[in-house]
Structure 1
Amino acid sequence: MEEPTRMLGEPVSETENNATLAVSLPGKAVCEDAVEDVQLVTCQVCFDTVLSQDAMTRICRETCHGIMCGACMSSYLNVCTESAPHGVLSRLKCPICVRPLNMHRLITRASTSNDATSICDHATLFRERVEASCEMLCPECHRTTNILYTPPSPDGAIDNKIDSNDWPKSVLACRRPDLVPDIVAACIRYCNHDLTADALLAYLARALDDEDIEFVQNLLGHMFDPERRVGLFLATMKRDSFKHTPCCDAEVCFVCKREGHHPGQPCATYLPEIEDMAQCSQCDLMLVKGDGCSSITCFCGHEFDWDVEVAQYRLKVCTVQALSPRHRPAFVAIATYLRHQAFRRKYAVLVIAQLPMFVLHKRLADLAPVLFYPPWSTSFRTGLQACMARRRVIRQTIAHRASFQQLVVHHVGVRVQQIRLERLTSAVAQPHSIWRTLFKALVVRSVTRRRFRKVLLDISMVVEQRQMKQERAIFMQTLAAAARLRRHSRLHQAPWMAKVKAALSSWATTQQHCALHKRQYGAAIMAQVPQAVAGRQLRRIDLVMLAQKNSPSPWWGQTMATAVRRAIAKRREAQVAGKMLDGVGVAQGVWQQCVGPSSNQTMSAA
């Protein structure tokens, strides 16, 4: 049976145990082979799916969650190498969690990747740029020489060796066996960027005394990470900066990069005189800032405040200038005055303030030999015992007074009130007692006074409320009158007031004319309604037209015409009803004549 094949670029799904995976090359198809426990992971930079053995995980430490493929790590190292200045202590950081990264751990994690060769090449270039900060220029032949120790191989490095048994014997030879675990732990912390170079050197100086320089030199030869090696080397150079070039054996100061040695003079004496310049306290690199904020991160990874470092650098320069022969007398005079002031302050605090106590102790020391021999010893002991007894009595009296004040005096007033109340109650409660009548009269008088006082207070409050109500009513009336006057004045002053007055006068004239017409023509027209009803239809139409014609306005004409029509209709209804009643009477008479009187009841019922 022919085995299935897959082309490169075809999506591969995650498989279970005993799964098969197609391994392809660009432009070719390869038959599948049996592969067990294959896992795919996603690169957090390019988001491509790669095999777990080709990816780099736990990049900077065991708690790192970063996952990168070999190609992305190689590109990252290339960018770090190109951006790192030559000869400047630069720190390599994890591209995912941005924490310091040990190069030995990076090389170890990249050993299983397909791009391990490219990663190692870029790491070597980065190492060369960082280790260039340990170069020294010969002042005679002008040849640059790197005085840093040769780095070890990844297998012989101690960067990841926690157990002291894995360390080379040459590094831990002739050391105190009890301090070996602590020294190894401190070195591992330094390799993992958890400890600074100055802190490590201080610990080694305390632990090893005079053997710390030799131990550091051996340690530099077995440390793989370039940034850690160079940082520790520069820290040791600050303590012993006078070196000789290996080519011409010329004297050079490694810190200030000047020809010759200057024992007794600090390197700050030869600092350049620039106002806005700072010096990194870790790698001694001189920095000049163009713009930006005051938070600065050096190439070595050390973070500091720009203003603080500039002030410290200026202080160094000023100190050097003050120590120059020109300003030395003034500086010595100021220093002498400050020392004298400091001495006077210490003398006042430590000596003068203790004089009274010293005099007392001196007197007691002088009296002690005399007082402890008779007869002074007996009289002194007796007087001392009497004094102590008096003091004891005074203390007991003070304590008793305090307890008496707290337990007795504090409750005297309450107890007196209780006794008075009990006596008054017993005297009042006796039957036929004059105290009972007097007490009742006193209580009634007191209650009456309280009620009267309350009534007086209520009267004043009621009077005030009434006054407030009256004042409020007067104020509201005044306010309403003022509002009416204001509206009236605005109405008379309005520009449309003339038109309103003309319209009102026209309406009043029309109303008067209508009333006059109603009195003159209304009665005459309504009197002709019976004749119109009795007459012909033409007469009724003439009457309506007459009412409309003689009206003073169209509205009044319509009203009169409607009234005439209604009157004519009512008149006609009345005539029809009268005729019907006349017909009923005639029919009843005929019925009586034909049937007789006996049928009157039936007729009436019908």
Structure 2
Amino acid sequence: MTTAAAIDVQCAPSASRATRQPKHTCAACYAQTRDVVTAICGASCPAIFCRDCFLRFLQIQVASHMTGIVRGVACPICIRPVSFRRLRALAPKATSIGDLQAAVVTAVSVCCPACHCTKSLLPNVTKSKSVEAHLDGTLHNAAELLATQLPASVQALAPVLLDRCSAYSRYEVSAQDLFGCVRRQIPLRLLLDQTLTVLVRMFGDVERQARLYLCWRQHSPFTATMCCKHDICFACKTSGHHEGEPCGALQVDAAMAQCPHCAVYLTKGDGCDSVQCFCGGSFSWATEARKFADEYVRSRINPRVFPKVLAFLRRRVQQRRFRATVLPSLLAATERRALRRLDTLLPVPRCLRSALLQAVYRRRYRTIVLDMPVHLLQWRIAMAAKRSEMIHWIGLAKLVSEARSSGRAPVRRTTTKKKPAPVPASVQRIVQRASSFVAKPVPVPLPVPPQVATCAYLPQTMNSRKRPFART
């Protein structure tokens, strides 16, 4: 015997047993009657209502229901949600349950731009293959059935998804929790839409279907109608998919927020921040109002500029992290790499090491020692030229100073062009000596090379009292 049949037997006793059952007191009208409805939200529910009061309760729920809002029915005693399937088992002949289901379907219905007919976006459900049938025990291969309907890349997640859907059907988790779980498991948008389409079709309860569908369309509003397969935006109820463009102009008020349970827009007049929506969900007004304002500002940003700004900010963050993390450790990493290279050379045989050292010595000898006379000769020639020029200017300065002291103008000795000074004999000897070292002529004098400056005997030659050049 299934659960639904058991509920029917409990709530609708036969006429032969009605006389033997004790009378109960109705919690609403306090009347003594045997035709009562018990266990409204579960086996442990203490609610006891006569059938007339229970039917009146359902009629009040229909009258107070607002169009466009997904609202379930809660137990009047335990304040726990009750599924439409259980309500149908408690009151099989009540027409109010059908009206409640129709009101829920209205919240997920849109007018098709092609045929101009208002149709629901919820898919048809085979109740024998639903999650509720799996919970009742009438469907034994629910995981295999779900795996065959899912895409091939996510079929391995069928047992996990079935467990989460079962908890959602028992009102143990919310639609946001179920959607977040599926989104974490399947981050790709195309696979996510295909998986959610299958999961929505798995629920036989219209209220469970509608809540999950609304939560899905809050993050992915672009869909198609069930009748003509025409593209629409579920958020602004317009034709086509305006990718990268925000929805139609919305007059945003400072006291406006969106319900996280049914996605309806609400405005606040006064009162505290603890708000209960018409769908029965409770939330903090300050938190949802701030979130709604941020989402509205984000939707008004030009979608072509925003990725460029994000790319620029990512580059700046990477540069800052590189300077803070990589550069300080670069020197240590270079030292470790050099040490590792040296470690590979340590076990080299001694003969090979000595041969390498001799090769290094010969190369340094060729590049430094053999060219030393040439560099030294160039330096001496440059110093001799500077010294002769300095002596010339010193003599001219003496002549000018003597003329100023005597009060007479300096007299030039000759009016003809002065002949260049003869090359000193010491310089001629140096040039002749240099011809034995190099076959080519001596280049233009250069400054003191680093090889000469580092020699041990060069400072002694420069600082010695003996002058290397003859005075001219």
Give the structure-1-normalised TM-score. Answer: 0.47
Q: Where does residue 136 of structure 1 map in the other structure?
A: 110
Distance (whole Å) between structure 2 residues aligned to residue 62 and residue 34 of structure 1: 21
Aligned pairs (5 A) from 1:251-266: 251-265=231-245
Quote how far apart the aligned CAs of 1:124 are: 1.0
Distance 1:361 1:64, change over 3 A: farther
Aligned pairs (5 A) from 1:524-539: none
Matched, 1:223 2:223: no
Quote how far apart the aligned CAs of 1:95 are: 0.8
Q: 1:188 aligns with which of 155, 166, 179?
A: 166
Quote how far apart the aligned CAs of 1:157 are: 5.6
Distance (whole Å) between structure 1 residues aligned to residue 80 and residue 328 of structure 2: 56
Matched, 1:97 2:78: yes
Counterpart of 1:254, as a letter, is F
**Native 8 Å contact 1:103 1:224 kept in 2:** no
**Native 8 Å contact 1:162 1:188 kept in 2:** yes
The DSSP-based 3-state class of the residue aligned with 2:298 is helix
Aligned pairs (5 A) from 1:6-21: none
Quote how far apart the aligned CAs of 1:96 are: 0.6
Determine which structure has more spread, i.e. the larger CA radius of gyration.
Answer: 1
Q: 2:289 aligns with which of 280, 302, 310?
A: 310
The DSSP-based 3-state class of the residue aligned with 2:132 is coil
Distance (whole Å) between structure 1 residues aligned to residue 242 and residue 302 of structure 2: 15
Quote how far apart the aligned CAs of 1:246 are: 5.6
Q: Where does residue 127 of structure 1 map in the other structure?
A: 101
Aligned pairs (5 A) from 1:448-597: none
Quote how far apart the aligned CAs of 1:319 are: 2.2
**Native 8 Å contact 2:68 2:104 kept in 1:** yes
Q: Deviations over 1:5-57 (max 9, x none)?
A: xxxxxxxxxxxxxxxxxx9xxxxxxxxx8978523333333333332xx3222
The DSSP-based 3-state class of the residue aligned with 2:271 is coil
Distance (whole Å) between structure 1 residues aligned to residue 307 and residue 224 of structure 2: 35
Distance (whole Å) between structure 1 residues aligned to residue 302 and residue 206 of structure 2: 38
Distance 1:39 1:348, change over 3 A: farther
Counterpart of 2:132, as a letter, is D
Q: Where does residue 149 of structure 1 map in the other structure?
A: 123
**Native 8 Å contact 1:43 1:50 kept in 2:** yes
Q: Deviations over 1:57-112 (max 9, x none)?
A: 2221233222222222212211111111011111221111112221212222x15x
Q: Where does residue 362 of structure 1 map in the other structure?
A: 337
Q: Where does residue 135 of structure 2 map in the other structure?
A: 162
Distance (whole Å) between structure 1 residues aligned to residue 286 and residue 205 of structure 2: 32
**Native 8 Å contact 1:279 1:313 kept in 2:** yes
Quote how far apart the aligned CAs of 1:145 are: 2.1
Q: 1:64 aligns with which of 45, 48, 51?
A: 45
Counterpart of 1:286, as a letter, is Y
Q: Where does residue 375 of structure 2 map in the other structure?
A: none
**Native 8 Å contact 1:105 1:160 kept in 2:** no
**Native 8 Å contact 1:80 1:92 kept in 2:** yes
Distance 1:166 1:245, change over 3 A: closer
Counterpart of 1:283, as a letter, is C
Q: Where does residue 281 of structure 1 map in the other structure?
A: 260
Quote how far apart the aligned CAs of 1:204 are: 4.8
Counterpart of 2:281, as a letter, is H
Q: Where does residue 242 of structure 1 map in the other structure?
A: 222
Q: 1:299 aligns with which of 278, 291, 309?
A: 278
Q: Deviations over 1:499-519 (max 9, x none)?
A: xxxxxxxxxxxxxxxxxxxxx
**Native 8 Å contact 2:123 2:201 kept in 1:** yes
Distance (whole Å) between structure 1 residues aligned to residue 88 and residue 41 of structure 2: 11
Q: Where does residue 600 of structure 1 map in the other structure?
A: none
Distance (whole Å) between structure 1 residues aligned to residue 133 and residue 195 of structure 2: 18
Counterpart of 1:148, as a letter, is L
**Native 8 Å contact 2:147 2:156 kept in 1:** no
Distance (whole Å) between structure 2 residues aligned to residue 366 and residue 137 of structure 1: 74
Q: Where does residue 24 of structure 2 map in the other structure?
A: 41
Distance 1:98 1:254, change over 3 A: same
Distance 1:152 1:86, change over 3 A: farther
**Native 8 Å contact 1:179 1:207 kept in 2:** no
Counterpart of 2:254, as a letter, is E
Q: Deviations over 1:130-163 (max 9, x none)?
A: 110111123466442223234666x876426426
**Native 8 Å contact 2:256 2:289 kept in 1:** yes
Counterpart of 1:316, as a letter, is E
Relative contact order (alpha carbons < 8 A, sep ≥ 6): 1 or 2 greater? 2
Distance (whole Å) between structure 1 residues aligned to residue 107 and residue 18 of structure 2: 49
Consecutive unaligned residues in structure 2, runs of 5 or more? 1-14, 352-472
The DSSP-based 3-state class of the residue aligned with 1:274 is coil
**Native 8 Å contact 2:38 2:46 kept in 1:** yes
Q: Deviations over 1:372-408 (max 9, x none)?
A: 34559xxxxxxxxxxxxxxxxxxxxxxxxxxxxxxxx
Distance 1:291 1:172, change over 3 A: same
Matched, 1:74 2:58: no
Q: Where does residue 347 of structure 1 map in the other structure?
A: 322
Distance (whole Å) between structure 2 residues aligned to residue 127 and residue 362 of structure 1: 72
Aligned residue pair count: 332
Q: Percent of counterpart pairs with the same letter? A: 27
Distance (whole Å) between structure 2 residues aligned to residue 334 and residue 230 of structure 1: 37
The DSSP-based 3-state class of the residue aligned with 1:304 is strand
Counterpart of 2:74, as a letter, is K
Aligned-pair RMSD on alpha carbons? 3.9
Distance (whole Å) between structure 1 residues aligned to residue 98 and residue 271 of structure 2: 33
Counterpart of 1:44, as a letter, is A
The DSSP-based 3-state class of the residue aligned with 1:128 is helix
The DSSP-based 3-state class of the residue aligned with 1:159 is helix
Distance (whole Å) between structure 1 residues aligned to residue 201 and residue 83 of structure 2: 16
Q: Deviations over 1:186-219 (max 9, x none)?
A: 2221111112224334545638997775565455
Distance (whole Å) between structure 1 residues aligned to residue 110 and residue 58 of structure 2: 27
Distance (whole Å) between structure 2 residues aligned to residue 238 and residue 369 of structure 1: 62
**Native 8 Å contact 1:256 1:270 kept in 2:** no
Q: Where does residue 64 of structure 2 map in the other structure?
A: 83
Distance 1:353 1:173, change over 3 A: closer
Consecutive unaligned residues in structure 1, runs of 5 or more? 1-22, 24-32, 377-606
Distance 1:307 1:219, change over 3 A: closer
Q: Deviations over 1:345-381 (max 9, x none)?
A: 31134312323431341232132123334559xxxxx
